[in-house]
């Protein structure tokens, strides 16, 4: 006999409840916005979202508006997006940058400048290049530290905020999520995973257990945040 977890009544057309609260109880997103409105902070792990965008685009990055995307998720939680935090790192630049490296840096700088102009808080780490088995691999450094610091500072800098959206997949955030939960702050995790063997996106049970609720991101959430042509964001 196969055991299947059920998180909502099949008659309720509220996708936010899948997977939803592990206890199966409805949260604020279950109710009409007429009754519940919250100021939300949205924290975006750019590396994760970029990887997921490319996955949904079958090798090509989806073109979408980061800000519309964040606000759409806040609306799903019957909240108002008070501030967006975006965690990223500039592309690697060698001591003598190639034309390709320079081009990527110019595109990145333009992207970040537009987000900052529109009020997004940008936290930048650095990009480290490693050579493994004669192949170069690129890793972002310090980005997770910045995100953890901002989460820790929520009670001080945003004392009225009691719910946040975290778009990530890293279990390193578990201790800080549990810490702010003690301050009365609920974390809604928007993530993605696959159950098949050798999947690109694995499930972090530790992370899922630490949050108030988790939701699997579908491609539709990207497609529902169309980008103005002149802003070309990824």
**Which pLDDT does position 1 carry in this prediction?**
43
CATH number for the domain that contains residue 188: 3.40.50.1010
Interior/surface letters 185-214, b for 16+ CB within 10 angstroms, e for the rest: bbbbbbbbbeeeeeeebebbeebbebbbbb
Tell me if 9 is assigned to some domain: no
pLDDT in 10s for each residue of the chain, 234 residues = 444 343 433 444 444 444 555 555 555 555 555 545 589 999 999 999 999 999 999 999 999 999 999 999 999 998 999 999 999 988 887 778 889 889 989 999 999 999 999 999 999 987 766 666 667 665 666 789 999 999 999 999 999 999 999 999 989 999 999 999 999 999 999 999 988 766 678 888 899 999 999 999 999 999 999 987 754 555
Number of compact structural domains in the chain: 1
pTM: 0.81
- Does a structural domain hold residue 131? yes
Mention every residue, 6+ apart, whose C-beta is less than 8 A from residue 16.
29, 30, 76, 77, 215
Instruction: Tell me the residue range of the domain where 52 lies.
Output: 40-228
Residue 15 inside a domain? The answer is no
- Would 31 be classed as within a structural domain? no
Residue 152 lies in a domain: yes
Is 170 part of any domain? yes
pLDDT at 95: 77
Residue 73 forms part of a structural domain: yes
């Amino acid at each position: 006999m196969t055991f299947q977890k059920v998180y909502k009544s099949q008659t309720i057309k509220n996708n936010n409840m899948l997977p939803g609260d592990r206890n199966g109880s409805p949260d604020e997103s279950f109710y009409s916005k007429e009754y519940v409105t919250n100021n939300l902070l949205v924290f975006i792990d750019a590396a994760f979202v970029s990887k997921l965008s490319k996955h949904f685009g079958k090798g090509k990055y989806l073109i979408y508006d980061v800000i519309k995307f964040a606000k759409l998720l806040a609306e799903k939680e019957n909240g108002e997006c008070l501030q967006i935090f975006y965690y990223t790192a500039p592309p690697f630049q060698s001591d003598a940058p190639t034309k390709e490296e320079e081009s990527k840096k110019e595109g990145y700088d333009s992207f970040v400048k537009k987000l900052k102009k529109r009020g997004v808080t940008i936290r930048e780490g650095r990009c480290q290049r490693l050579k493994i088995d004669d192949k170069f691999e690129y890793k972002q450094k310090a980005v997770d530290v910045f995100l953890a610091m901002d989460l820790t500072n929520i009670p001080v800098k945003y004392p009225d905020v009691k719910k946040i959206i975290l778009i990530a997949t890293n279990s390193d955030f578990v201790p800080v999520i549990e810490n702010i939960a003690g301050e009365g702050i609920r974390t809604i995790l928007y993530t993605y995973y696959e159950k098949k063997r050798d999947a690109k996106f694995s499930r972090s049970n530790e992370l899922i257990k630490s949050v108030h609720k988790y939701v699997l991101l579908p491609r539709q959430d990207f497609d529902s945040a169309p980008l103005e042509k002149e802003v070309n964001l990824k």
